[in-house]
Amino acid sequence: QLWVGTGNGHIHIIDTLKKEEIHAFRFHKLTVFDIKYSEKLKLVFSVGGDGILNVYDPQNLKHLHSIKLSDAKMRSLDFFENEILLAEGSGKTIVLNAETLQIKTEFQSHEHATNCFLTDEKSHTLFSGGRDAHLKLWDLKNNFSLIRSIPAHNFAIYKIIDLEPLEIIASASRDKTFKLWNKNNMEILLRVNHENNAAHTHSVNSLLWHKSSQTLISASDDRMLMSWKIVAS
């Protein structure tokens, strides 16, 4: 299945083998910003501009829960052990118990808005990106204590991904660039922009890592998809 969120709050479910839509949900009132599947829970979660978390059973194509968590946008979610992490538009990170969906804790992670997450279970580290253009590292095993804050971009960070098995993470930004970082020491490895790399001319909004071909795919407001071969030195 392919789950596709839209700007009007709809989620369309596509059977990728039959290449046809098999179901649609509308439980968001505004843009759907993130959809993720939990392998552990066997459930799909979505968040949107309405500050609502929705939960679905993908096997039976049923909507299970709608929970209003904020008056601000919810742009991203991720999982760590028995927790759901939610990026909230006022700059908070909200942490839920994944089974009860009750709030365990929340903390101010960025100024203005927290936009995206990457959890690294091996190092027990949460990477977050915000509207404040900072890339932050948090200790998942020590009450989300701040490890490091990096002024990583000139404008908001919209996506952080892991380029496993390479020890590299990538961040995408409204400043029209994406950057590659050494995951172990967070030193910058490469800054990719239009001037030097014939890359995007507008905000870079998303990144996708195709592991088997070691190809990074970037998407932008310039309506272009670009693919980049990543070769470890």
At residue 89, the pLDDT reads 95
Tell me which DSSP letter residue 195 carries: H
At residue 233, the pLDDT reads 66
Question: Radius of gyration of the chain from Cα atoms?
Answer: 17
Q: What is the pLDDT of residues 88-135, one digit of tens each?
A: 999 999 999 999 999 999 999 999 899 999 999 999 999 999 999 999
The token pair at 155 is: 């404008």
> Contacts for 122-130 with beta carbons within 8 Å, 24 or more apart?
126/78, 126/80, 126/85, 127/160, 127/169, 128/87, 128/93, 128/160, 129/156, 129/157, 129/158, 129/159, 129/160, 129/171, 130/91, 130/156, 130/157
Phi, psi values for residue 194, rounded to 5°: -70, -40
User: What 3-state class would DSSP assign to 194?
Assistant: helix
> Cis before residue 165, ω within 30 degrees of 0?
yes
The token pair at 162 is: 């892991």
Q: How far is CA 74 from CA 30, 51, 81, in A?
A: 11, 5, 21
At residue 19, the pLDDT reads 95
Residue in the structure block whose two tokens are 């596509």: 14
Closest listed residue to residue 199, CA positions, set 180, 181, 225, 174: 225
- Tell me which residues of the chain have a pLDDT lower than 50: none
Delineate the domains of the chain, giving CATH numbers in brackets.
2-151 (2.130.10.10)
Q: Report the C-alpha gap between 204 and 100 in whole angstroms.
A: 35
At residue 232, the pLDDT reads 73
Please count the helices (runs of H) and the strands (runs of E) in the chain.
1, 22
At residue 3, the pLDDT reads 98
